[in-house]
Amino acid sequence: MKKLFCLIAVLALFSCAGGRVTYDYDKATDFSNYSTYNYFDDMETGLSQLDERRLLKILDSTLQAKGFLLSEEPDFLVNIISSEYRKAPSNTVGVGVGGTGRNVGGGISVGVPLGSSALERRIQFDFVDFQKNTLFWQAVSESGYNDEASPYEREEKLRAIVNKVFSKFPPKN
The answer to the question of residue 154 being in a domain is yes
The answer to the question of residue 71 being in a domain is yes
Percent with pLDDT over 70 in the chain: 71
The answer to the question of residue 95 being in a domain is no
* Exposed e or buried b per residue across 75-84, where buried means at least 16 C-beta atoms within 10 angstroms of its C-beta: bbbbbbebee
Domain count, the chain: 1
Q: Which domain holds residue 124?
A: 19-87+116-168
Average pLDDT value for the chain: 82
The answer to the question of residue 101 being in a domain is no
The answer to the question of residue 67 being in a domain is yes
The answer to the question of residue 146 being in a domain is yes
Average pLDDT, integer, range 19-26: 93
The answer to the question of residue 13 being in a domain is no
43-88 confidence digits (pLDDT tens): 999 999 999 999 999 999 999 999 999 999 999 999 999 988 776 5
Whether the per-residue pLDDT at 107 is higher than 60: the answer is no
Which domain CATH number covers 159? 3.30.160.670
The answer to the question of residue 23 being in a domain is yes
Q: What is the DSSP string of the chain?
A: -HHHHHHHHHHHHHHTTS-EEEEEE-TT--GGG--EEEE-TT---SS-HHHHHHHHHHHHHHHHHTT-EE-SS-SEEEEEEEEEEEEPP--EEEEEEEEEETTEEEEEEEEEE-SPPEEEEEEEEEEEETTTTEEEEEEEEEEE--TT--HHHHHHHHHHHHHHHGGG-SPP-
